Structure 1
Amino acid sequence: MMNCGYTIILDDMRLLKQENIPYEKMRNKTILVTGATGMLAAYVVHFCMYLNETEGYGIRVLALVRNKEKALEKFSKYENDSNFEFLVQDVCDEIRYDGRIDYIVHAAGNASPRYILDDPVGIIKANTIGTMNVMELARKNSGVRVVYTSTREVYGKMLDNVEAIEEDTFGCLDPMERRACYPESKRIAESILKSYYYQFGVESVVLRIAHSYGPGMIINNDGRVMADFISDVVNERNIVLKSTGDAVRAFCYITDAVSAMFLAMLNSPSGEAYNVANEREPKPIREVAQMLVRLFPERKLKVIFDIPEQMSLGYSKMGRTVLSTKKIEDLGWTPKVCLAEGMKKTVLSFAN
């Protein structure tokens, strides 16, 4: 985190702190974050350390990562902080920690279309074996609460016309479809969490997050629409659309997604699932691309159409899924960052 990127992340920490969330419950507690270098997970780490720095909360942060060198690129500032510790391992291996843990944010896993095509077994392992390992650790820590970052894709394809999908509305998934490794393993992960609650009383909450983006996202060779668009603008390339751009998406900026995670972790009954999406600005992806180009006129970029005969098998073909966010809004959440502001902050965060 340097210069412009650091300034934007610091501003986002201030935004999160202003939310009406009972952060004081984390004072002097220990939080384990799996997949800590991921976009959302890294912001959870940064914010806990920010509360330590600004409010003296004394939160102990355990960052579970597979590659310490890569992790230090994001967390070097905390390396010598007594309230920060790396757990260097694969989440698919047994997680050993002798100290007390109060909260676990389980965000390990990959959603990139590239990995869905190249490493579907790895995706399944992280979401199933990895989740079992997390829950086994939680079972050994009485009173721990687990937060799991799931996906809108667990709902599958709707068979009937549904105006907005609520948390108990489900369609169908084809387990033989090329992309099924991701939503099917996310579904079983949710079931694992609930089963540990029924059998062992382990508290958990699920966030089904749709199209989140922001500083820290992987933008090079990721394959998701927003990541590819941001990468083009950051690298001053024309945005090339591989479709007509008619598909409608609603994107949720990172601080809105992370505030939902903290709110659910600290203020939700156990065993609940919540949709997290910013459905206030649904737009065809060609308009998203055009908006990005307009936000940076000095780069003189264009939106170009180069439509192949066949769409990549790694992309979701479920179409537009409108999520109802009434349930988490009733908990006190509301999205705050508009699309233009969020995209501009994201691009600028990569400036250095």
Structure 2
Amino acid sequence: MLVTGCAGFLGFYITSFLARYATELGIERIVGTDTFLLARPAWLDELAKLPHVEIVAHDIAHDAIGDIPHARDVDLVLHMASIASPVFYRKHPVVTMEANVWGLRRLLDFYGEGGLRGLVFFSSSEIYGDPTPDAIPTPEGYRGLVSCTGPRACYDEAKRFGETMCWVYAQEYGLPVTAVRPFNNYGPGMRLDDRRAPADFAKAVVEGRDIVLLSDGTPTRTFCYVADAVAGYVKALVHGSYDAFNIGVERPEITMRQLADTYVAAGAEVFGYTGVVRFEAPDEAAYLTHNPQRRCPDISHAREMLGYDPRVEVDEGVGRFLRFLRETGARA
């Protein structure tokens, strides 16, 4: 099995899960690749000590796929390589596009001759842009309201084009390619300097600082605990034919202020946290540009086709995340 982008948040959880249950899942070897542009987490070195796990530095957009160890033996691929945090993909827009477009194209070409049992492209809920009220919860068939220019376009449009490539290669060459669209996943593996809200709030709790909201707190999201999300991704990997699936939770849809309050309550229990929620203006002018007001998936398609059944409520998930940080010395 090949996991590109193994050093990221989802890469941590998925690679750890696959490594732990490799025997039960019938996985002989897991090869993880990453450029380590943002970081090389210490946990990767621990995973690499396992006899069935190999971690290598590789740029999926520029280096030959054949240079990856055991590339010819791979029959399952999780293409996760991409910067996903808005703060960082605005700093590295070209790199972000390349991983999602050229990196994906290289994988599709390399494995296009057959032999694959499944390839999952990690798309994004951002392909929907800022949905109209009648499109929430948002089904996979919604075409989206997305700008092709602006500070978020490098990510949003690269994901959209990546999905088009997946569909074309599935139609033309019969590749078993599936696209998944994550909706606000959070939990263990998310670095405290990730700069997305769940990580920012966790960092404030760990450091004993007030939680600072850089919006008015009214945008709403549903938040999917990473263990639930990974179950969906693994099910999508063995789906075996082209499709696209929303992977997230339908409820509760809460405001960012409510999420912050959830961290305050869980932080008090786990860390003895005494901070409060404050509002400040963002330092970065583009911070809220094209930021969706609402984000909530319709997951009925994934329920029906994959048996996807997320169960962790946000209160429980935030508590789990903070306990993980406490138990690991806040080294996420």
TM-score (norm 1): 0.84
Alignment counterpart, residue 342 of structure 1, candidates 312, 317, 328: 317
Q: Does the CA contact (< 8 Å) of 1:179 and 1:314 recur in 2?
A: no
Residue equivalent to 1:323: 297
Residue equivalent to 1:26: none
Residue equivalent to 2:11: 41
Q: Does the CA contact (< 8 Å) of 2:7 and 2:40 recur in 1?
A: yes
Residue equivalent to 1:14: none
Residue equivalent to 1:138: 111
Q: Following TM superposition, by how much is the alpha carbon of 1:45 offset from its aligned partner in structure 2, in angstroms?
A: 1.3
Q: Deviations over 1:268-292 (max 9, x none)?
A: 2511000111122111111111121
Moved more, 153-162 or 333-342: 153-162
Q: Does the CA contact (< 8 Å) of 2:178 and 2:242 recur in 1?
A: yes
Distance 2:118 2:97 in 1: 23
- From the superposition, tell whether residues 336 and 118 of structure 1 become closer, same or farther in structure 2 (CA, over 3 Å): same
Q: Following TM superposition, by how much is the alpha carbon of 1:198 offset from its aligned partner in structure 2, in angstroms?
A: 1.8
Q: Following TM superposition, by how much is the alpha carbon of 1:321 offset from its aligned partner in structure 2, in angstroms?
A: 2.8
Residue equivalent to 1:110: 83
TM-score (norm 2): 0.89
Aligned residue identity for 1:49: A
Residue equivalent to 1:244: 216
Q: Does the CA contact (< 8 Å) of 2:222 and 2:295 recur in 1?
A: no
Q: Following TM superposition, by how much is the alpha carbon of 1:124 offset from its aligned partner in structure 2, in angstroms?
A: 0.8
Q: Does the CA contact (< 8 Å) of 2:212 and 2:278 recur in 1?
A: yes
Q: Does the CA contact (< 8 Å) of 1:207 and 1:276 recur in 2?
A: yes
Matched, 1:279 2:222: no
Q: Does the CA contact (< 8 Å) of 2:5 and 2:34 recur in 1?
A: yes
Distance 1:57 1:287 in 2: 42
Residue equivalent to 1:202: 175
Q: Flag structure 1 segments of 5+ consecutive residues without an equivalent.
A: 1-30
Residue equivalent to 2:35: 66
Q: Does the CA contact (< 8 Å) of 2:253 and 2:296 recur in 1?
A: no
Q: Following TM superposition, by how much is the alpha carbon of 1:69 offset from its aligned partner in structure 2, in angstroms?
A: 12
Q: Helix, strand or coil: the match of 2:143?
A: coil
Map of 1:254-273 to 2, 5 A cutoff?
Answer: 254-266=226-238, 268-273=239-244
Q: Flag structure 2 segments of 5+ consecutive residues without an equivalent.
A: none
Q: Helix, strand or coil: the match of 1:104?
A: strand
Q: Helix, strand or coil: the match of 1:63?
A: strand
- Count, aligned residues: 319
- From the superposition, tell whether residues 56 and 263 of structure 1 become closer, same or farther in structure 2 (CA, over 3 Å): closer
- From the superposition, tell whether residues 224 and 101 of structure 1 become closer, same or farther in structure 2 (CA, over 3 Å): same
Distance 1:317 1:71 in 2: 29
Distance 2:42 2:114 in 1: 31
Q: Helix, strand or coil: the match of 1:299?
A: coil
Distance 2:102 2:73 in 1: 22
Distance 2:135 2:46 in 1: 47
Q: Helix, strand or coil: the match of 1:49?
A: helix
Distance 2:16 2:94 in 1: 30
- From the superposition, tell whether residues 264 and 83 of structure 1 become closer, same or farther in structure 2 (CA, over 3 Å): same
Distance 1:131 1:56 in 2: 25
Aligned residue identity for 1:74: W
- From the superposition, tell whether residues 278 and 158 of structure 1 become closer, same or farther in structure 2 (CA, over 3 Å): closer
Q: Following TM superposition, by how much is the alpha carbon of 1:72 offset from its aligned partner in structure 2, in angstroms?
A: 6.5
- From the superposition, tell whether residues 73 and 303 of structure 1 become closer, same or farther in structure 2 (CA, over 3 Å): same
Residue equivalent to 1:17: none
Residue equivalent to 1:291: 262
Aligned-pair identity (%)? 27
- From the superposition, tell whether residues 315 and 37 of structure 1 become closer, same or farther in structure 2 (CA, over 3 Å): farther
Map of 1:216-255 to 2, 5 A cutoff?
Answer: 216-220=189-193, 222-255=194-227
Q: Does the CA contact (< 8 Å) of 2:245 and 2:299 recur in 1?
A: yes
Q: Does the CA contact (< 8 Å) of 1:247 and 1:319 recur in 2?
A: yes
Q: Does the CA contact (< 8 Å) of 1:68 and 1:86 recur in 2?
A: no
Distance 1:72 1:182 in 2: 23
Alignment counterpart, residue 185 of structure 1, candidates 126, 134, 158: 158
Distance 1:145 1:248 in 2: 34
RMSD between superposed Cα atoms in Å: 2.3
